[in-house]
Amino acid sequence: MEELGANSQENGLTAALARRARRCLIGNYGERELALVRGDGVYVWDADGRRYLAFLSGIAVNVLGHCPRAVVEAVSRQVRTLIHVSNLYLIVPQIELAELLCGHSFEGARCFFCNSGTEANEAAIKLVRKYWYDRGEDRFEIISAEGSFHGRTLASVTATGQAKYRAGFGPLVPGFRYVPFNDVDALAEAVTERTAAVLLEPIQCEGGINIPDAGYLERVRELCDSKGGVLLVLDEVQTGNGRTGKLFAFQHTSITPDIVTVAKGLAGGLPIGAMIARTEIAASFGPGTHAATFGGNPLVCAAGVATLRELLKPGFMERVGELGRWFLELLREQVGGFSEVRDIRGQGFIVGVEVRGEPGEFVRRFRERGILVGSAGDRVVRFLPPLTAQREHIEAVVGAFRRILERC
């Protein structure tokens, strides 16, 4: 494989863009040193013509890689046919996407569409409260996990079990509490007659690729059921869409959640969010209770249908599971012995390497070698390859990691 990003020219165009950005954009994303202007499959190119292997997938969004043919064609067709109409009307691609999600999630599922992961979680939080209200029960409290990430709206950031995301935004939304992740006993102690729901990521992604013990979700499910039907809400915004080798991560277990949220990769790069709920719970979102103007619009749903059809092709997600296991093995073999590497963990194409020192420093060194990766929490280098990545791409990334570590 050719050395990636080797044809380094000057940074002229990128530097000019950074100057313009500083004068017109709010600084909430910090300084950005790279302007990406084109993508094709597993590669992206910057404004100065350098090529990068995109192993973060726009943070788990570009599941089929950049500009995948199936999505480009579906969107091109739809954009000429009908872009937007509003949910005052039936929308054909919305129904098609809901049918696919219902058919591949759980019995009696119903979908609501919005535009992001945050909004999907916001919808879930509201639905949980409304469900218990409709039953005349004074249950409103939602328990989430320390180290979790659920989004940035006021309610979803309140649900997020990391103080750094909540700092400065008080007063927060009442009715949330946190327990350690992967600790059923702590959860059992926290549940009261006020508990409406437990909200969890099957794998904590932003929090550092934290994988619970086998049986954790099953025991949480049992606990919820034994405490008067506490709802179990799974945030699969990052773990969904085939990323772990199944369409939803909970499908690696024997449980059925009451509500699941998805977003990120669901429409292959277009902005979308979805909340999937059991029919009986979904009934609490009656006419007029909740809405999103753009939610489930024809264009994004056409992209979603095209994306899901690709993910659901025979063998597609199985390959992600197998290659993900191989990725972990290769990492253990080639970088596991370095003293800077503390742990290697993951499932499917969610892979984290816990390092000594700043993960951001590794992210920068990968970028110098023409590879885009990310960090998760303050100790983990995060790899989220497009689900279409091949062995040779994984080999290139692990090889680059080894060379970076050799020079540490």
Ligand X SMILES: *Cc1c(COP(=O)(O)O)cnc(C)c1O
Task: Say whether 112 is catalytic.
Answer: no
Region of 25-33, 37-45, 149-157, 191-199 interacting with ligand X (CB under 6 A): 149-157
Task: Say whether 264 is catalytic.
Answer: yes
Region of 72-80, 146-154, 169-177, 345-353 interacting with ligand X (CB under 6 A): 146-154
Q: How far apart are the first and last CA of the chain?
A: 24
Any residues with CB less than 8 A from the CB of 17 and at least 6 apart, and which?
A: 35, 47
List 130, 235, 250, 258, catalytic entry: 235
Reference 194, options 214, 174, 218; nearest CA is 174
Interface residue with ligand X, options 50, 66, 130, 150 (CB under 6 A): 150
Task: Say whether 126 is catalytic.
Answer: no
List beta partners, residue 232: 198
114 sits near ligand X (criterion: CB under 6 A): no
Q: Angle at Cα 228 formed by Cα 225 and Cα 230, nearest 5°?
A: 65
Strands 43-46 and 51-54: antiparallel
Q: Would you say how long the chain is, in residues?
A: 408
List 264, 285, 383, 401, catalytic entry: 264
Instruction: Please answer whether residues 389 and 243 qualify as being in contact, where contact means their C-beta atoms are separated by less than 8 angstroms.
Output: no
SS (H, E, C) 51-62: EEEECCHHHHCC
Region of 65-73, 145-153, 285-293, 400-408 interacting with ligand X (CB under 6 A): 145-153
Any residues with CB less than 8 A from the CB of 318 and at least 6 apart, and which?
A: 245
CB closer to ligand X out of 205 and 211: 205
Q: How far is the CB of 93 from ligand X (least distance, A)?
A: 20
- Alpha-carbon distance 259 to 275, whole Å? 7
Q: Nearest residue by C-beta to ligand X?
A: 117
**How many helices and strands, by DSSP H and E, does the chain display?**
14, 15
Site string for ligand X, 223-252 (x = CB under 6 A): ------------x-xx--------------
Under rule CB under 6 A, how many of the chain's residues touch ligand X? Answer: 15
- Alpha-carbon distance 379 to 223, whole Å? 32
CB closer to ligand X out of 14 and 116: 116
Region of 88-96, 143-151, 187-195, 338-346 interacting with ligand X (CB under 6 A): 143-151
46 sits near ligand X (criterion: CB under 6 A): no
116 sits near ligand X (criterion: CB under 6 A): yes
- Name the E strands within 56-162: 109-114, 141-145
List 106, 149, 285, 362, catalytic entry: 149
Instruction: Please answer whether residues 146 and 178 qualify as being in contact, where contact means their C-beta atoms are separated by less than 8 angstroms.
Output: yes
Q: How far is the CB of 119 from ligand X (least distance, A)?
A: 7
Footprint of ligand X on 187-206 (CB under 6 A) = 201, 205-206
Residues of this chain that interact with ligand X (CB under 6 A) are 116-118, 121, 149-151, 201, 205-206, 235, 237-238, 263-264
Active-site amino acid positions: 149, 235, 264
